[in-house]
Chains A and B, each alone.
Chain A
């Protein structure tokens, strides 16, 4: 995208006023999206975003400026604007000559079928197959929409530490939304699939099955009763509850919150912060998964990071600045939504390893509670640890058996308390559906996963008396 000698000159301009660190991040992203609604192709979109951002760090101050124009003159102007924003410093950053061999590549996984090679008609066929299956499932299905999208994102990072790296990531996404209608009102169902690979993802996933599953979910909820209120045991099905850990502790283990003492997990390294059943990993190098990337958006290779081992807090997640301040290596968790954003500490694929219990045994051991077949999104206040997550498909557990479907709602809990209250964890690990994690206005793709598990007590936000 940008030649090595141009990068060196831009970094020189960025450090002219005295900086501790400077970086150029360039991005070229192309995307294609087809949306299908009410039995027809609603819209076909092609997009291109390309640009570069320059970051300059002076003392504890970061200046950032960006441009959509990758010419040397524009890059230099961005570097000067970032340097001015950061202020004058006595930093010692000097541009180490970038290795003449060009940027290092760090591919994550292999794209076997380039989405660009797929005719647009084939996408329409996929959408129609999901729509047909959803409508055929039940006459109460009244509305179906679906979408298929793919993107290719190339990034290039060079900094004053001499780092010079590039990466190219291809993602494909498919979703189906269903509305079912009966006398009692409307209900919705949703299924999605997202992979950081090429079109071969559709060899693994049957879009018609996704359509009928979304329809099944909407139709089941037509006879749902109000969810209960109050605290009770909650069983979460495998591959759907990763968002629980994302909110209960994932965000709280991001080093930027730790550095500001704005996390309930600050100062707790080496302590028991969860049930001994829990081992939590964040792994951006997990090929194929939605949160996978070869290098993070600061150029560092992603890696397998154990955060909680057998209930004990063993590490946080780090970006360049927080790692520098702590005198350690970054962990490949510096990410940004696009070139117009500053990087932050972010999760990638976050998951809990399998445990000793049998999933059926977990339900059978629960007298009265809630079984969540599929979770929705969530959010957390890292400083207090209070977090919520939604239940998209849930059932009552009565006398050790899954019984009636429940209407949607949120559950609320406190991170450290809920982690301690995980009293059963099954061996049936699975990754979940693709997510978008929002932080400070930036959204990035993340994955999560977990086996079937039970929390002995959580507050269910229903309306039943």
Chain B
């Protein structure tokens, strides 16, 4: 009864007429989300989804349609609609689906049988155990929610140019949000742990982080406004790397929206900065052997010791730029066409611990969380201004908690002002890995 999605996309791609190119993408997956609160399951969501998206290119024009089902009549309708939509596109000589490029996907295992077999009752128990652990650590702590989340499934992509890929993968993580109370004051924290399967979780560490992040901020005040040295904690650095990655995007470059266009070969960052997009590294939460267009992913050194080496490219952006795809076609699922983007960023770590980094700072701020990243960063102009919480650093040690302030700079200056990269690389449930990062001359705005 269940459709074979590899067969489905292959047959859609094979339906291409002589003047057409077709790319078909289908996926099927399921996920579980358990949320507990006060020792009880607050909700348990058991989700299953499937769908297909078809892109038709003819005479340089592109049409796309999708449906959140794999029923035969709906699939036929999707192909017909995508064809109909072609008529309204404008011809673009560089439009087209990916072509086989001879690069074989790396052999990495993204599926865990152990996770697949993990029992429902055990998922609930993990979330409950995380909540209990957090509550036992500090009497000032409450839990807002503790969660176990997993997802798994398969995707298949096929093109009329001869690409056929089918893969499966699954992943899981736990997270907890905390509240710390002291009189009328409340502060918040969070912790998380990822693993290929639940046996790899470090609940103790997730709990301790969530407790420390919240309790550390009790009594926090606004810091004075000044230009100072800032240490971004690994979670925060990961958010910044995602922003930086979006400016190293070949599609933004060809469309005139990248601040680093025409800078390939230039020094754009401190020589301490080597930024790599490597979805073939299985430690990355978003590791994958195949990109959204069916090409093999690969390790791309984007910034090499401060020098801009190259941009990430999809088939389209590469054609326009006169280069080849770097295997960075990204897609949000069956309901969208592939775009261009980084898949799994990491900064090559330094050697020293966070404590060593702090010990070297006479006067500065440790930033432990950011807010307003989507509203306060413009990746075209490079302006960065985000809300933050953290601790002041005085004479090489953490001093007092601070909140309700902003940190501001530009993407260009953040990269050149890096003083040190920590050795504490952390793998997070995101498209970028974290590491402590020391940046000088950042504007902190708090009290006047």
Assembly CA distance A186 to B259 (angstroms): 7
Known: A63-B44, A462-B443. A410 touches B376 (CB 8 A): yes
Answer whether A412 and B256 are a contact pair too, CB < 8 Å, given A65-B46, A229-B445, A383-B188.
no
Which of A40, A145, A230, A377 has a CB less than 8 Å from the CB of B225?
A230
Find out whether the CB atom of A142 lies under 8 angstroms from the CB atom of B443.
no
A465 within 8 A of B: yes
Which among A5-13, A80-88, A273-281 touches the partner chain?
A80-88
Q: B56-98: contact bitstring with A at CB < 8 Å (1 yes, 0 no)?
A: 0000011111111101001001100110111111111000000
Bound together, the chains give a CA A68 to CA B92 distance in angstroms of 35
B208 in the interface (beta carbon within 8 A): no
Query: Closest A-chain residue to B334, C-beta based?
Result: A47
Closest CB-CB distance, A125 to chain B, in whole Å? 11
User: Which of A284-292, A386-394, A447-455 is found at the contact surface with chain B?
Assistant: A386-394
Task: Please state if B405 and A412 are interface contacts (CB–CB under 8 Å).
Answer: yes
- Is the pair B447, A414 in contact by a Cβ cutoff of 8 Å? no
**A-contact 0/1 string along B373-417, CB 8 Å cutoff:** 011101011110111010000000000000111111110000000
Is B187 in contact with A461, judged by CB distance below 8 angstroms? no
Evaluate contact between A459 and B257: CB separation under 8 angstroms: no
Contacts A41-B88, A390-B375 given; indicate if A66 touches B48 (C-beta within 8 A). yes
A227 touches B385 (CB 8 A): yes
* Minimum Cβ distance to chain A for residue B58 (Å): 12
Q: Classify the secondary structure of B's interface with A.
A: strand
Q: By the criterion CB–CB under 8 Å, are A40 and B381 in contact?
A: no
Give min CB distance, B256 to chain A, whole Å.
4
Any B CB within 8 A of the CB of A381 = yes
Residues of B within 8 A of A67 (CB): 48
Q: A383-B179, A410-B386 are in contact. Are A342 and B376 (CB under 8 A)?
A: no
Task: Given A47-B65, A47-B67, A410-B372, decide whether A260 and B144 contact each other with a Cβ distance below 8 A.
Answer: yes
Q: Which of chain B's residues have a CB closer than 8 A to the CB of A44?
A: 62-64, 85-86, 88-89
Q: A161 an interface residue at 8 Å Cβ cutoff? A: no
Name the A residues within 8 Å of B403 (CB-CB): 384, 386
Complex Cα–Cα for A284 and B447 (A): 38
Question: In the complex, what residue of chain B is closest to A438 when comparing beta carbons?
Answer: B374
Q: Is the CB of B227 within 8 A of A465?
A: yes
The reply to whether A48 and B67 contact each other, CB–CB distance below 8 Å, is: yes
B-facing mask of A111-152, CB < 8 A → 1, else 0?
000000000110110000000000000000011010000000
- Within the complex, the shortest CB–CB distance from B236 to chain A, in Å, comes to 15
Q: Which of B34-42, B102-110, B350-358, B423-431 contacts A (4 or more CB under 8 A)?
A: B34-42
List 4 additional A-B contacts (Cβ < 8 Å) besides A388-B406, A409-B385.
A43-B89, A63-B44, A388-B372, A463-B385
Seen from chain A, the residues whose Cβ lies within 8 Å of a Cβ on chain B are: 34, 37-51, 59-69, 81-82, 85-87, 120-121, 123-124, 142-143, 145, 179, 181, 185-188, 221, 227, 229-232, 260-262, 264, 340, 342, 376-381, 383-384, 386-390, 407-414, 459-463, 465
